[in-house]
Structure 1
Amino acid sequence: MKHLILAALIALPAPALAQEEGEIEEGFSLMEEGAKLLFRGIMSEMEPAIDDFSDLAEELEPALELLATEMGPALIELIQTLDSVRYYERPEVLPNGDIIIRRSPDAPEYEPREEGDIIDL
């Protein structure tokens, strides 16, 4: 008799475990669906901003290309002339449009860069 009761008690939890596993799987699928809905909502909210950014990039593209082709070589020459950017103060724009870049008073003495030296920014 004891064996029969023991066997019945051991057999009871098996369907309960199966039911819990099914509930856990259902919980995970509900969480997955919730995450999908959340991301869809975020994407639909972000879509106008992404479109605006794409439009802005298209508008700026010609200006950036012009900057790269015309100012690029001059900026590279300027960087190669400076021994280190950290030794200079902010550029100052004069009323006539000239731009002055002064060396900081506490910077070490200027040593011109030689051809092939590594640029230290």
Structure 2
Amino acid sequence: MKQIMALTVAAGLLCAPAMAEDAPESEMGEGFDLMEEGARMLMRGLMSEMEPTLDALRDNLEQMGPAFGEFVQSVGPAFGELIEQVDDFRHYEAPEILPNGDIIMRRSPDAPAWEPEPDTSEIEL
């Protein structure tokens, strides 16, 4: 009798979770659908609010395009020369601007000794 009672209780315990899962599963699916729809509505609202700002940004970039190209052409070579002369920017302190407008980049005291790269260009004799 005890064995039959134990089997009945065990079967009831095993079936209870399966029966309980049916109701929350449909509610959970509905909850996820509502959350998904809410997220879509939020994104639509954000995009509609950001659209004028993005349009203005696109217009500004179109106007600045030619000027930016000229800037890159004029400053690009000088910046390339600077990169060749500086071994690693982490070895330098923040630049200082002097009263006369000159900019100084001092090497950090704890930086390793600077060794310029040897000139590998050929010299005609």
TM-score interval (norm. to shorter) = 0.5 to 0.7
CA 1:83–1:56: 2 relative to 1, 3 Å: same
- Consecutive unaligned residues in structure 1, runs of 5 or more: 1-20, 117-121
5 Å-filtered alignment, 1:10-89, equals: 32-89=36-93
CA–CA separation in structure 2 for the residues paired with 1:96 and 1:88:
21
Whole-angstrom CA distance in 1 between matches of 2:96 and 2:54 = 36
Rounded to whole Å, the distance in 1 between the matches of 2:112 and 2:33 is 65
Measured at CA, do residues 106 and 36 of structure 1 come closer, stay the same or move farther in structure 2, by a change above 3 Å?
Answer: closer
Q: Paired residues, what number?
A: 100
Equivalent residue, structure 2, for 1:96:
100
C-alpha deviations, 1:30-88, integer Å up to 9, x for none?
55544433322111011122112213322432332122111111111111111111111
CA root-mean-square deviation:
3.0
Q: Which runs of 5+ in 2 are unaligned?
A: 1-24, 121-125
Contact 1:80–1:113 (CA under 8 A) maintained in structure 2: no
Instruction: Output the CA distance in 2 between the equivalents of 1:69 and 1:104.
Output: 31
AA at the equivalent of 2:65: E
Match status 1:108 vs 2:109: no
Provide the C-alpha distance between the structure 2 equivalents of 1:106 and 1:95, rounded to a whole number of angstroms.
Answer: 27
